[in-house]
């Protein structure tokens, strides 16, 4: 059997990490009920592992590598202005500077892909009715539920007094590992707070595909809150969570 013909494009996009949050959620929901597509995705992943295995690639001889590197470096020794008309040099320099600035502002590919995973995880939890594995507002029940299921203990404060009631928690899968997802409410909206162990790094806030994302580190854990509420309200949630956990 082969994958469904009308899902080939989405399946390849998922495999290459090129889908937006909505399409990622759609194909992942399809994979949950289609064994043929799951088998096709597994086959693609097996092929990738095979061609990246040591011994599957051949290293170029050192002599050839040296000749190529020399050929690449040679134009750098020439006067670059000699190949351009004098009137074009200022514009060329400005364009080069603008291009370098744009590259510096773009997020790393790995970070962009994680952002897509986080937003897709939020959307998926609402679409497939798998918002919580343990549904309760009692923090003393939610936190012990994670014991033995993951190798870290996320803090689980009840934030009703701040306007963000705890609704429960579940396991999720992001960036190649099982993580915890804490679920909070905000009036008629849902906040997914994804938590996993990570080295400390700076906070990040962004909007993507109509969703707000607020990310920060504390106590050896990385937190990523995702919701369709405004960035201002999501920042209030982050500050309420930090106050309640002593962060």
Lowest mean pLDDT segment, chosen from 16-25, 89-98, 163-172, 192-201: 89-98
Q: Are strands 177-186 and 211-218 parallel, antiparallel or unpaired?
A: unpaired
Residues in a beta bridge with 178: 173
What 3-state DSSP class applies to 118?
helix
Best CA proximity match to 30, nearest among 11, 17, 16, 44: 11
CA distance 171 to 180: 5
Largest Cα–Cα separation, the chain: 73
Spell out the domains of the chain, with CATH numbers in brackets.
5-51 (no CATH), 62-105 (no CATH), 129-245 (3.30.200.100)
Best CA proximity match to 194, nearest among 213, 166, 207: 213
Which residue stretches of 17-137 are H helix?
Answer: 21-31, 35-51, 62-77, 89-105, 109-127
CA distance 188 to 173: 25
pLDDT score at 82: 53
Output the six-digit token pair for 8.
Answer: 């080939």
CA distance 225 to 205: 10
pLDDT in tens, 22-80: 788 888 888 888 888 888 888 887 777 776 665 555 666 777 777 777 777 665 445 55
CA distance 37 to 42: 9
pLDDT in tens, 146-168: 999 999 999 999 999 999 999 99
User: Element (H or E) spanning 145, and its range?
Assistant: helix 139-145
What does pTM read for this prediction? 0.57
pLDDT score at 106: 43
């Amino acid at each position: 059997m082969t994958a469904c013909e009308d899902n080939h494009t989405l399946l390849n996009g998922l495999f290459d990490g090129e889908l937006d949050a909505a399409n990622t959620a759609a194909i992942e929901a399809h994979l949950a009920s289609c064994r043929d597509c799951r088998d096709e995705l597994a086959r693609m992943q097996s092929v990738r592992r095979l061609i990246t295995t040591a011994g599957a690639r051949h290293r170029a001889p050192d002599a050839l590598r040296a000749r190529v590197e020399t050929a690449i470096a040679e134009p750098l020794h020439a006067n670059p202005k000699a190949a351009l008309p004098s009137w074009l040099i200022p514009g060329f320099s400005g364009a080069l500077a603008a291009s370098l600035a744009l590259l510096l502002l773009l997020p790393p590919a790995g970070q962009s892909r994680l952002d897509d995973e986080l937003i897709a995880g939020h959307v998926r939890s609402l679409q497939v009715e798998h918002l919580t594995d343990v549904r309760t507002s009692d923090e003393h029940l939610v936190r012990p539920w994670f014991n033995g299921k993951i190798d870290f203990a996320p803090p689980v404060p009840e934030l009703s007094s701040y306007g963000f009631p705890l609704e429960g928690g579940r396991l999720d899968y992001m960036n190649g590992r099982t993580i915890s997802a804490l679920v909070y409410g905000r009036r008629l909206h849902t906040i997914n707070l994804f938590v996993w162990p990570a080295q400390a790094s700076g906070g990040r806030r962004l909007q993507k595909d109509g969703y707000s994302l607020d990310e920060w580190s504390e106590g050896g854990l990385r937190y990523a809150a995702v919701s369709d509420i405004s960035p201002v309200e999501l920042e209030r949630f982050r500050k309420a969570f930090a106050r309640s956990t002593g962060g």
